Structure 1
Amino acid sequence: MSIPVVDFSAGSLDVENISNADLHQLSRGLKMAFTEVGFVFLENTGITQAEVNRVMDVSRSFFLQPDHLKRPFSRKTFPNSPNHGWVSLETESLNPQKPGDLKEAFNLSSLHPDIKWPSSEEVAGFQEIQTAFFHRCKELSLRILRVMALSLGLDPDIFLNTHRLIGTDENGTTLRSLYYPPVKSELAKEGQLRCGEHSDYGSITLLFQSDEGLQVCRRSGEFICAPLVPGAVLVNIADLMQRWTSDHFLSVLHRVLLPPVGNSSTRQSLAFFVQPDDEAVVSCIDGSDKYPPVRADVYLIERFNHSYGRT
Structure 2
Amino acid sequence: MPENKTNFSDGRVSHLSSQVPVVDFSIFTNGDPSTRQAVANSIVEAFRTYGFVYLINHPVSEASISQAFRMSKMFFDLPLSAKTQAPHPPGFAVHRGYSHPGLEKVTDLTLGLDSVAAKSLAREVPDLKESYEIGSDNYLEQPNVWPPPNMYPGFRGFMTSFYWILAEFSKEILKALALGIGLEDENYLQKFYTGEHNQLRLLHYPEVEAKVLEEKKAVRVGAHCDWSAFTLLFQDDCGGLEIESPTEPGRFISVDPIENACLVNIGDLMARWSNDFLKSTMHRVGPPPLQSRYIATREMKITMARYSIPYFVTTTPESVIECLPPCVDEKHPAKYKPITQKEQNIQKVSMNYN
TM-score (norm: length of structure 1): 0.89
Shift of 1:187: 3.1
Query: Is 1:214 aligned with 2:259?
Result: no
Query: Is 1:159 aligned with 2:189?
Result: yes
Aligned 1:133-172 pairs, distance under 5 A: 133-154=162-183, 155-164=185-194, 166-167=195-196, 171=197
Shift of 1:265: 1.8
**Contact map agreement 1:3 1:226 (CA 8 A) in 2:** yes
Judged with a 3 Å threshold, the aligned counterparts in structure 2 of structure 1 residues 132 and 78 are, in CA distance, closer, same or farther, namely farther
Counterpart position of 1:223 = 252
**Contact map agreement 1:61 1:122 (CA 8 A) in 2:** no
Pairing partner for 2:307 from 259, 268, 281: 268
Q: What CA distance in whole angstroms lies between the structure 1 residues aligned with 2:323 and 2:105?
A: 29
Q: What CA distance in whole angstroms lies between the structure 1 residues aligned with 2:177 and 2:61?
A: 22
Counterpart position of 1:87 = 99
Q: Can you list the C-alpha shifts for 1:50-104, whole angstroms capped at 9, x where unaligned?
A: 211211111111112222212221122699x811111110111113635221001
The one-letter amino acid of 1:249's match is L
Judged with a 3 Å threshold, the aligned counterparts in structure 2 of structure 1 residues 94 and 77 are, in CA distance, closer, same or farther, namely closer
**Contact map agreement 2:133 2:199 (CA 8 A) in 1:** yes
Pairing partner for 2:87 from 74, 77, 83: 74
Query: Is 1:45 aligned with 2:58?
Result: yes
Pairing partner for 1:6 from 23, 37, 45: 23
**Contact map agreement 1:62 1:122 (CA 8 A) in 2:** no
Q: What CA distance in whole angstroms lies between the structure 2 residues aligned with 1:193 and 1:163?
A: 34
The one-letter amino acid of 2:165's match is R
Aligned 1:1-311 pairs, distance under 5 A: 2-13=19-30, 18-76=31-89, 82-95=94-107, 97=122, 99-112=125-138, 115-119=144-148, 123-154=152-183, 155-164=185-194, 166-167=195-196, 171=197, 173-188=198-213, 190=216, 192-210=218-236, 211-219=238-246, 220-221=248-249, 222-259=251-288, 262-286=301-325, 287=328, 288-309=333-354
Aligned Cα root-mean-square deviation (Å): 2.2
Deviation above 6 Å: which 4+ runs of structure 1?
Answer: none
Structure 2 gap segments, 5+ residues each: 3-18, 108-118, 291-300
**Contact map agreement 1:41 1:235 (CA 8 A) in 2:** yes
Shift of 1:263: 3.5
- Percent of residue pairs bearing the same amino acid type: 30
Give 3-state SS (helix, strand or coil) of 2:40's partner: helix
Shift of 1:240: 0.7
Q: What CA distance in whole angstroms lies between the structure 2 residues aligned with 1:263 and 1:301?
A: 37
The one-letter amino acid of 2:245's match is R
Q: What CA distance in whole angstroms lies between the structure 2 residues aligned with 1:62 and 1:187?
A: 25
Q: What CA distance in whole angstroms lies between the structure 1 residues aligned with 2:94 and 2:287?
A: 29
Give 3-state SS (helix, strand or coil) of 2:71's partner: helix
Q: How many residues align?
A: 299
Q: Can you list the C-alpha shifts for 1:131-166, whole angstroms capped at 9, x where unaligned?
A: 1111111011111011111112102122111112x2
Shift of 1:10: 3.1
The one-letter amino acid of 2:202's match is S
Q: What CA distance in whole angstroms lies between the structure 1 residues aligned with 2:306 and 2:87?
A: 21
The one-letter amino acid of 2:56's match is E
Q: What CA distance in whole angstroms lies between the structure 2 residues aligned with 1:9 and 1:20?
A: 13
Shift of 1:186: 1.2
Q: What CA distance in whole angstroms lies between the structure 2 residues aligned with 1:115 and 1:225?
A: 34
Q: What CA distance in whole angstroms lies between the structure 1 residues aligned with 2:264 and 2:334?
A: 27
